[in-house]
Homo-oligomer: A and B are copies of this chain.
Amino acid sequence: MRHFAEHGYQGARVEDVARELGIAKGSVFQHFGSKAGLFLAAYKRAVSSLPAWLDAPAEVVDRGFWAVLVYWLERTEHLIREDWIPYRVSLIGNYGTDLSLKRDINRWLVSEDPYGTLDFVEFGVARGEVRSDVEVEVTASMLDWLAERFQDALVTEELDPGLFHRHPHQPQRRQARIEQFAELLRSAIGTRPA
């Protein structure tokens, strides 16, 4: 994980990873089959170590779906500074490998749902905070896509369409963006006010 996080997928060399682990290059291929297999294992570990939506503190969860959403949006930057390696690996897996590996990654994401997005959406629907007139899967996909992309933009200039990094050092703007984003999301998938 660390090596991929530091060097990217292409930039990471299997032999270096092996040397750091004190084993021979051949052993890495013995265990993981290929560089892609090695990365996939690292990716799964990285993503599994990240918090799921409903892992927010109990008092936040008690306040409901939207409190949890805003909690994580605001918390992302913090988490990344504390523990940037899994985020970086996840970013690389999402955008920086190749399509066949991306397919394996996606299959895994769909089957494992490591962030518990489906649970989270169902939690929101059960509380009457998320609309139920659209299939849960569609809502969950939308939340997945947008939250992932928004976090990625928040975190890295590589994927930022100018939202956060165009004007450096404007924390109040960042906060405004988070609020606007949550507002758009609330409008999209929240229950309509009567």
Mark A residues whose CB is within 8 Å of B.
8-11, 91-92, 94-100, 102-103, 106-107, 109-110, 134-135, 137-142, 144-146, 149, 153, 157-167, 176-177, 180-181, 183-185, 187-189, 192
Q: How far is the CA of A167 from the CA of B10 in the complex (A)?
A: 31
The 10 sampled A-B contact pairs (Cβ below 8 Å) are: A94-B95, A95-B99, A95-B102, A97-B98, A99-B163, A103-B163, A106-B159, A106-B162, A135-B180, A138-B163
Q: How far is the CA of A162 from the CA of B103 in the complex (A)?
A: 7
Interface residue from B96, B134, B176 paired with A183 (Cβ < 8 Å):
B134
Residues A184 and B138 in contact, CB atoms below 8 Å apart: yes
A98 to chain B: which residues have CB within 8 Å? 8-11, 96-97
Assuming the A-B contacts A94-B95, A95-B94, are A184 and B106 also in contact, with contact meaning beta carbons closer than 8 angstroms in the complex? Answer: no
Query: Which of A91, A97, A103 gathers the greatest number of chain B CB atoms within 10 Å?
Result: A103
Closest to A149 in B: B145
Interface residue from B92, B94, B134, B177 paired with A180 (Cβ < 8 Å):
B134
Assuming the A-B contacts A188-B187, A188-B188, are A109 and B161 also in contact, with contact meaning beta carbons closer than 8 angstroms in the complex? Answer: yes
Closest chain B CB from A40 CB (angstroms)? 14
Assuming the A-B contacts A137-B166, A160-B106, are A8 and B180 also in contact, with contact meaning beta carbons closer than 8 angstroms in the complex? Answer: no
A107 to chain B: which residues have CB within 8 Å? 162
Q: How far is the CA of A165 from the CA of B159 in the complex (A)?
A: 22
Assuming the A-B contacts A134-B180, A135-B180, A184-B139, are A163 and B106 also in contact, with contact meaning beta carbons closer than 8 angstroms in the complex? Answer: yes
The 4 nearest A-B residue pairs measured at CB: A188-B188, A96-B99, A103-B158, A96-B98
